[in-house]
Chains A and B, each alone.
Chain A
Amino acid sequence: AQRVTQPEKLLSVFKGAPVELKCNYSYSGSPELFWYVQYSRQRLQLLLRHISRESIKGFTADLNKGETSFHLKKPFAQEEDSAMYYCALRNAGNMLTFGGGTRLMVKP
């Protein structure tokens, strides 16, 4: 069975500090991983996907198959980054499995 684990429910940092939101997964096949974000009073939306190897809003995430991790990083956090972040894994059946989410609070 596949599983996505986000060990931190809350991460609080000061503006300008580096951020790393952790995501670990278990999956027997070739994983396809995503980060979704939900800002206050907005709907859940895609932030980035590992397959694109892109940087969005200064965030990057690298898939580490050896450590089965897909951590989300940003070198300098901004107050507008405060949100709920969800890591998700897509399996061969086109299902998304979500982690429990991490609330990021960026303090001024």
Chain B
Amino acid sequence: NAGVTQTPKFRILKIGQSMTLQCTQDMNHNYMYWYRQDPGMGLKLIYYSVGAGITDKGEVPNGYNVSRSTTEDFPLRLELAAPSQTSVYFCASSPVRSGPSYEQYFGPGTRLTVT
């Protein structure tokens, strides 16, 4: 199992450009999440999904869009990149909603710089 994979690892964007951050998991997890982590700060939830075709906003959704057409993939779209979106982006997945085995599995992250 590769677990949660993210591409690209690094990216530099100019202001106003668009891009898609890819996230794929091969664990057949229903729940997937996108976080951003600014320097010296904790992770903040951008969007999440409870299954294919279902997405919802997290704490900081502005400037982003997501889709979930398959169980495996959960891409994050930035339409008009702004310097405030410079951050490290993490994708995560979990197999269950709650209970003693609840755990989120994280990808390696994508470091995005917008200049």
Q: Measured between C-beta atoms, what is the minimum distance from A80 to chain B in Å? A: 20
User: Given A43-B109, A44-B90, A52 and B42 touching (CB < 8 A)?
Assistant: no
- Segment with Cβ contacts to B, from A58-66, A70-78, A88-96: A88-96
Q: Which of B42, B58, B105 contacts A100 (CB 8 A)?
A: B42
Q: Measured between C-beta atoms, what is the minimum distance from A103 to chain B in Å? A: 10
Please report the C-alpha to C-alpha distance between residue A52 and residue B44 in the assembled complex, in whole angstroms.
25
Q: Which of A43, A45, A90, A99 contacts B102 (CB 8 A)?
A: A90
A21: CB under 8 A from chain B? no
Please report the C-alpha to C-alpha distance between residue A32 and residue B111 in the assembled complex, in whole angstroms.
30
Q: Which interface class (under 10, 10 to 19, 20 to 34, 35 or more) fits A?
A: 20 to 34
B12: CB under 8 A from chain A? no
Residues from chain A with a CB closer than 8 A to the CB of B15 are none
Task: Determine whether the beta carbon of B103 is less than 8 Å from that of A49.
Answer: yes
Task: Determine whether the beta carbon of B42 is less than 8 Å from that of A101.
Answer: yes
